Structure 1
Amino acid sequence: VINGQKVWTSGAHYSDYGILLTRTDPSVPKHKGLTMFIVDMKQAGVEVRPIHQASGGREFNEVYFTDVRIPDSDRLGEVGQGWKVAIVTLMNERLAVGGSPGPDWAEIMAYAKEAGTMSDQAFREKLADWYVAAQGYKLTKFRTQTALSRGQTPGPENSIGKIITANHLQDICNSAIEMQDHYGILTDSDRMPADAIFQQSFMWAPGLRIAGGTDEILKNIIAERVLGLPQDVRVDKDVAFDQMKSG
């Protein structure tokens, strides 16, 4: 029997089923005592509330669970081993989010040529940085594709791609909007260059920096699991969940 609430479940208002990570044993540390289930999003007790976003869309949702009954046959993995299932899910999500569509260096270069700002040395330096980062990310994706072709789970290197693409999308769109001067505040796709893709993506990009793990979380993952640096201090690492301070 599930009770609780989660902010930001993408596409929940369209979904017939979801996956749900639950706390099934509060007497062990926070990454233990978790179990994952498949949940019928149409059953009694499940309430989905779409969130109105700055871009005008409603892709994100809050989901409330009130006495929702889930049979054990809908459990994913072993009882108490939900974190292992969640890690596999997150690795694949970060791979997907890292490849999210949006204008890249080629699109803003084309717009800069049209706007007559390619001669701006500061912009050209930014363009070079975006290009180099894009090539590095492309080669990282090749490593991921190789791993997938061998039946392996996407690894922590996908955190690199997500940080690069989300931040660069925001930076590229911000630069394009600045080129448009006071017209940059307009979002009408019929009136703005490139069908206002820079405006729409600028409002969408901050969400990508949260989806699948925030920038700060992913930087810790890269530091610890890719570079092998000492772990961040976690004073509650071995504290039972029900003994943690709250409020």
Structure 2
Amino acid sequence: MHIVEQHYLGLELKHPSRVSTLRELETFVSKPLLEALGDDDPAAKQVLIKGIWHSLVSPTIENLLFTESAQEVIRNIKVEEAFDLEILRVLPAKEILFFNFLLGKNRVIKCTWNNDFLIVIDITRHEYNTGIQCESAVAYLGGGNKNFTHALRGAIQCLIFYKLTEPELLHVAAGKKQGTRKQGHYNATPYPITIVDSTWNKYIVRTEGFSVSGHFRLQRYGTGNAKLKLVWIKPYQKHGYVRLPKAETI
């Protein structure tokens, strides 16, 4: 994988030349959130604006680049009306966290977690680089929010995968290479990149008959079952067998 700054929207937006674009995005995202706060808490408004701007421009936020294999797994995590937002309490309640999820070259989801609030900025680049589209969302864990927009659903899927599983992480420093020439990664950008991969979906059912597709299950573990993690149940055959892809059995 050859990572070039101009090829990934989530990295390109960090360039100083895109400041005007980011200012427009900040206004677009902040306006509805500020209106929801009303005029009662001006200090909270300032904190909100600073947090949104930080999530858009800060070079210190970790760049998490999801591989195609990881994205396939993420798409299979169901976030629907019955989904319980309380699952996100695996994130620390008294910390402010920022996430920069790079989902391919033309989409980036920026998340801010702050005291049970999740603020999401989902930015997509149109085909042929004709412009960008932005969708924002906010969820409060104590508010019973069931309006899972495209942006909020995508952010939650990424957070569940990243925090409740054990993904394969490869840290590639700016301007450095990792791995071999054929299978390695070269980070040609001025930003450190963490490549997030998964092998969960590399099992294939190769038999006839009634098969059960792979799926996820939230499983509690630890003392008193106090901890929570997402586990992958491999595809299996109820009246047959499962074998690995041919490439792995040779």
> How high is the TM-score relative to the length of structure 1?
0.22
Higher strand share: 2
> How high is the TM-score relative to the length of structure 2?
0.22
